[in-house]
Structure 1
Amino acid sequence: MKKPYQSNWFSGVLALLFALLLFFNANASGNIGNMTSVSQVYDEMLYNIPVQLEYDKDKYFVSGYEETVNVHLSSLNRIQLDLESNEDTRNFQVVADLTETPLGTSEIQLRVKGLSTAVTAELETKTITVTKEKKVTKSFDVEAQLPESIEAEGYKVDEIAVSPKKVEITTGEDTAKAISRVIAPLSNIKQSADTIKQTVNVQAIDSKGQVLSIENPAPQVKVVVGLTMPSKEVGLTISPTGSPPSGVEHYTFNLSEQKVEIRGTKSVLDAMDTIELPVDVSNIKSSTKQKIKIPTNADYIVSPEEIEVTINPVFTGTNTSFSETRGQSTTTSYSSQAIPTPLPSSSEEPTSSSSTSSSSSTSSAESSAEDEIGNGSSSVPAN
């Protein structure tokens, strides 16, 4: 028979073990509860996810549906969510099953296929409207459709070449019956272009001018359009540049051409009357000929592209210059200094003499002016 103190000791140890067991069990439950309460839900919004249609593509043509939808993904697993969010690693697809859908227009339910069980998906758009037709292929002539700007800017169309002239269009049976013409729509051109060369996708148009659905990608054609651009003649103005040497009062300029032809759009031509021609006069002390390129830009074409300019320095002390235009030369004069006039004396005889001298000087100046007019020189002061 056990002694009383031995029985009490055993009961105490047993009670202590139960107490420890209850303590640890309570703490473990609390930790699990805390872990559950702090679990985070991750989510991601995906835009423009393609809709995959399931049907017999050899027999049917489908059109009129929204090709993409937005999808909201959520998960407790950040890694799985990232895999499905990334286009390169995702497994899911948004599909519409049309295998049992009758011909005509129907509303089809969308569903998510192949998504990880650790991720939940919600579609922003639940259904799409689809038109299902029997598939047909027919041949059509192609015509080029020019931009409206061609006529508005005054271009004249010389010739249009389309290659190939016929294309095969694949579409639905009813859609093919509605095709009125097949066009190759050209995009806008550069303002100074005299030829259009573009490769474009064709479009099928109905009698109302609306674009119809055809197989994607659509057939391509090459279009070449020859154009004659509007043109006009504009004058040339001299703009001296550089630093002239000392002693030169001004320069005269002889141009091989007074006007040049420019070609471009009507709006560009209407805004231009002259072209400024920069001429470098640095260190020119004697008559010099220069080939000057006519300034231009992408808005217009100029012809000829360059002209010859003869630069003649006029040294200080030369008579007052003048303005005139003759033949192939432009004469434009500017007076930079006034020639001093002698003061008359108090006696009548010298006054008469002075008057005679002045008259003679005026006659000489007019004679000199007539000679220079005949030569057709252009005079610009030296700066």
Structure 2
Amino acid sequence: MKIAQALNSKVAYSLLALLFTVFLFVYVNSEHSSGDNQSQISTSLMKNTRASVKKEINYSYDSDKYYVDGAQQTAKISLIGPSGLVKAAQNTGNFQLNADLHGLKPGVHTVKLKVSGLSSEISARPTPTEIKVKISKKGHASFPVQVRYDSTRIAKGYATGVASASRQSVKVTGAASDIKKIESVVADVNLPENSKKSTSRNVLLRAIDSAGKELSVTISPEATRVNIPIYLASSDKKVPVHLVSGGQGVAGKKYSFSTDTKYVTLTGTKDALKKIDSLEVPVSLVGVNDNETRTISLDSDRSGITAVSPSSIQVTINVTDEKSAADNSSQGSTNTSPTTGNKETTEEEIPNKNQSEDESQSSESSSSSTESSSSSSANVEAGAE
């Protein structure tokens, strides 16, 4: 009875009214705060802001007929506009920076850069606004790949086998004038000092001219896998010396040359030595008018050969007039054209096959000293100039 009276009293109604008032105040205040935040966010997104973006230049031209190279690849773009739109453009990058070259002929041109794909509410300005481009007639050709390396970096007592590339040839595209200048496409391998182990690596290809200067062209594919085998070279083999003409002599002259060094010893890998039966020694005849004796250095460009012993030989060059040489040839002397360097060897100069094999086998086990015996000679005739 007392509880019911208390609930119906004025005090109870006053408390309920107070609680309801507080609830309404909190609710209204919360809604007002939320509206202010949304208003602030909306104002922030609509406020103009500035940003700088680096963009790749898209060149538009007839790529079947023309070639563009060396032109600027990227440019900066200043964006000004509503913060939300500018940030979206920065994050997505869904706009383009274009250089339209259609209708332009070969030569150097100045073209304007234009931005496309942005909202109309964003202002965009590239820097620079104009660029220079060189347009050339397009050319293309295929070239074999040449592997190059510094053989002096191979350790002493070691030799390289035949270097190979995974791509035998590549396609080169560029200005037609540059394609004509290409001397070769090379894969240069930088070997470490005193290399003793075979190497295999990916190498970028370069197109070079006759002076070794790199040309600005596009090579496809742009790289190749190069393999350079390196072997221990400790085997020896004795082979005969083969004197050949090393150039065209003086017109009206005939030449013969000889040496007392009949055999030399080659050092290299077993596989390389098996493929060599003689050492060809070119004797230069350029400008030779009279008899003379020359010291000629010996080396071998054969893969897998590391040394030649002795390292040089004495060669005597005999010079006669054509008439005297013709008389000698009628008596059975042998002639060789200096332009070809081919030599007809007499039977005395060719060692017995079995004897040669025995000498080669014996030289495999130990180094053989150089033998000097009767002269090995060849006759050459100067070609008319």
State if a TM-score over 0.5 links the two structures.
Answer: no
Question: Normalising by the residue count of structure 2, what TM-score does the alignment of the two structures yield?
Answer: 0.44
Structure whose CA Rg is larger: 1
Structure with greater contact order relative to length (CA < 8 Å, sep ≥ 6): 2
